[in-house]
């Protein structure tokens, strides 16, 4: 199914000066794991105080393109334990609008991610193994997914999260596909949490 004309127009208009960038968060505040090395996207630390040693965010320099694009991130954990991966964006670029980034086909080396292409659903119809916070997040049964038929769309406020286990000294590499999902007007929506046991946001 093709995107709506509205979404395509909004996406085209914001493809140059506007549009969010790809952003992936790594949170090990519970495990107190320091990422000793990083490579791939630009590294940002958005936490203050001691928390920033155990949380980092890797963000693309340029706005996400309209086509599915491959990205690679890697880091080396200081000790064994768990990280929470958060699929996110750099934030909304126009007042009153949600700026979406779409993710699909996530591949990990030296760590395991459940349902990496979002193909499996729970008994309640949610995308299995991921915790997300907006009913607009899943894109189910689409013929333009990067892999299979489903993908996820997130904003800065509506991320998708899952925990992974890492091993001390073993470089974790994450490959994924992402693209701009365009902009949609912000509307008030009722509180929603997917029915998974994936980690909640702090």
Whole-prediction pTM? 0.88
Distance CA 77, CA 192 (A): 33
- Summarize pLDDT for 125-150 with one digit per residue, the tens: 899 999 999 999 999 999 999 999 99
CA 94 to centroid of chain Cα atoms: 20
- Summarize pLDDT for 49-63 with one digit per residue, the tens: 888 899 999 999 999
């Amino acid at each position: 199914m093709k995107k709506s004309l509205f979404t395509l127009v909004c996406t085209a208009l914001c493809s140059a000066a506007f549009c969010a960038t790809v952003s992936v968060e790594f949170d090990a505040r519970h495990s107190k794991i320091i990422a000793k090395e990083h490579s791939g996207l630009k590294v940002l630390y958005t936490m203050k105080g001691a928390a920033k040693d155990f949380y980092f965010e890797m963000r693309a320099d340029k706005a996400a393109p309209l086509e599915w694009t491959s990205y690679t991130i890697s880091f080396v954990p200081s000790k064994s334990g768990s990280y929470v991966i958060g699929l996110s964006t750099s934030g909304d670029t126009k007042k009153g609008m949600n700026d979406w980034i779409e993710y699909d086909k996530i591949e990990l080396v030296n760590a395991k991610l459940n349902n990496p292409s979002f193909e499996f659903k729970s008994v309640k119809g949610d995308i299995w193994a991921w915790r997300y916070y907006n009913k607009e997040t899943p894109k189910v049964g689409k013929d333009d997914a990067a892999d299979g038929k489903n993908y996820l769309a997130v904003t800065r406020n509506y991320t998708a999260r899952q925990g992974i286990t890492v091993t001390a000294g073993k470089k974790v590499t994450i490959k994924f596909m992402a693209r701009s999902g365009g902009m949609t007007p912000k509307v008030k929506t009722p509180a929603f949490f997917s029915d998974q046991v994936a980690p909640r946001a702090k």
